[in-house]
Structure 1
């Protein structure tokens, strides 16, 4: 294999640039040409493809976002759109493609794989919702962003003796909420994987108030519902002064942490190795700090799960 392509797709995540850098430099080290595909699958269809050099990825390892840009592309979900993408890859002589992104991005790679085109998926999403890997690129950075925000909110919650509902991202996964809630000592953590009894949340708030607790933090994963709706219900049930903060897209930005930079570098390089070994239709990941790879079609059939022990611990420590 002498020519490979790389694209980033879906929601951006801190560390994507580090992964792109690793793909480009690892490939060039092995005398393989690399082509950057801009604006995700839309750019693939449009032929927005440029050859990348060592200097193309200089000074980007510390930058958030993605220099290749990203875009949603409904057309690529169709067979016609997929065929257009393959035509562009063949036009440039690109023999294999590395896709950096989340679940939706992997669905596109899965389609290409089923059509016989060699693809490798690299998990890049703050949601940490990809099966087959303990962590995805960007999760650690987003987690630290959320923790910092909750720390600051707790200061004002303490000063004004308020209850705060903090809605965090994660799509249909609760990892960001669970990890940040545990790290920040939240009184309740509401995640899609565990249907908390609302009465239990209220009971915990009331008991805390009765023993003199002046403020409370409730972390809500967006997959559970609206933070504003939960805030209103809590106010009506407890008569406690309640405020809602939706952290939003601040969670996606920022310079990646050391963990995300190292993870992205390792996964990006591993993806190149797989293509050079003649492997295709794979997803790279990390499990127990060891690099692994899985069949991308099979892994997308697996459900996302959370650490049940961590969830139980959060309950025990929030009494």
Structure 2
């Protein structure tokens, strides 16, 4: 394989640039040409493709977001859209593609693989919701962004003796809520994988108030429901002054942590190794700090599992 492409798709995640850098430089090291596909699968359809060199990825390892930009593309879900993308790959004589993104991006990669264009998936999403890997690119940075925000909110909660509900990202996965809640000593953590026991939350708040506790932090994953609605319900049930903070897209941005930079570099390089071996339709990941690869179809057929031991520990420590 002499010519490959690389694209980022779906939501951006800190560390994607580090992965792009690793892909480009590892490929060039092995004598390959690398082409950037801009704006995800939409750019593939539109032919937004340009050749990259070593300098193309200079000074990007510390930058958040993605220099290739990203876009969601419904057209690529169709045979017609996929065939348009394949025509562009043929035009540039690209023989393989590395796709950095989440499960939606991997579905596009799998479709191309089925049609004769080998693809390797690199998991990049702050939600950490991909099966087959312990961590995804961007999760650690987003987690630290949340923790920094909670620390600051706790200062205000303490000063004004208030209950705070903090809504974090996680439509289908509660990893950001669980890890940040455990790291910051939240009184309650609400995640989509577990049943929402509102009464348990209220009883915990009341017990804390009765023993003299002046403030409380509740972490809510967006997949559970609206933070604003939840805050109103809590104040009505407890009569405690309650405020709500929705962190939103601030969680996506920022310079990637050292952990995310190293993870992205390792996964990006591993993806090149797979293409060089003639592999296709695989996802690279990390388990027990060892690089692994799995069939994308297997990854897509499984659901990421919340760490139940951590969830139970959070309850035991927040009595």
Q: How many residues align?
A: 319
Mapped to 1, the partners of 2:32 and 2:298 lie a distance apart of 29
CA distance in 2, matches of 1:174, 1:38: 31
Q: Distance in 2 between matches of 1:27 and 1:85?
A: 22
Is 1:65 aligned to 2:65, yes or no?
A: yes
Distance 1:123 1:150 in 2: 27
The corresponding residue for 1:184 is 184
User: Aligned runs of 1:9-158 on 2, under 5 Å?
Assistant: 9-158=9-158
Q: Quote how far apart the aligned CAs of 1:297 are.
A: 1.0
Is contact 2:62–2:256 with CA below 8 Å preserved after alignment?
yes
Measured after TM superposition, the shift of residue 246 of structure 1 is 0.3
Task: State the TM-score, normalizing by the size of structure 1.
Answer: 0.99
Structure 2 equivalent of residue 222 of structure 1:
222
In structure 1, the gaps of 5 or more residues are none
Partners of 1:225 and 1:111 in 2: CA distance = 33
Per the TM alignment, residue 74 of structure 1 is displaced from its structure 2 partner at its CA by 0.8
Is residue 161 from structure 1 mapped to residue 179 from structure 2 by the alignment? Answer: no
Shift of 1:170: 1.8
- Cα drift, residue 236 of structure 1: 0.7
CA distance in 2, matches of 1:171, 1:121: 22
Offset of residue 196 of structure 1: 2.9
Shift of 1:91: 0.8
Deviations 1:230-274 (A, max 9, x none): 001101100110000000000000000000000000000000010
Q: Does 1:307 align with 2:307?
A: yes
Contact 2:171 2:224 in 1 (8 A): no
Work out the CA distance in 2 between the residues paired with 1:48 and 1:146: 35
Shift of 1:117: 1.6
Contact 2:171 2:192 survives alignment (8 Å): no
Give the whole-Å Cα distance in 1 for the aligned partners of 2:18 and 2:171: 24
Distance across 1 between alignment mates of 2:50 and 2:91: 12
Q: How much has 1:79 moved relative to structure 2?
A: 0.9
Contact 2:10–2:101 at 8 Å: present in 1 too?
yes
Task: For residue 116 of structure 1, report the CA deviation from its aligned partner.
Answer: 2.5
- The RMSD of aligned alpha carbons is 0.6
* 1:193-219 residue CA offsets vs partner (Å, 9 max, x unmatched): 111310000000011011100000000
Partner of 2:297: 297
Unaligned runs of at least 5 residues, structure 2: none
What's the TM-score, normalizing by structure 2? 0.99
Other structure's SS at 1:178 match: helix
CA deviations on 1:33-89 (whole Å, 9 max, x unpaired) are: 000000000000000000000000000000000000001111011110011111101
For 1:163-199, what per-residue CA distance to the aligned partner results, in whole angstroms no more than 9, with x for missing partners? 0000000221000000000000000000011113100
Distance 2:5 2:287 in 1: 26
Measure how far apart 1:114 and its partner are: 2.1
Asked if the contact 2:120/2:284 (under 8 Å) is kept, the reply is yes
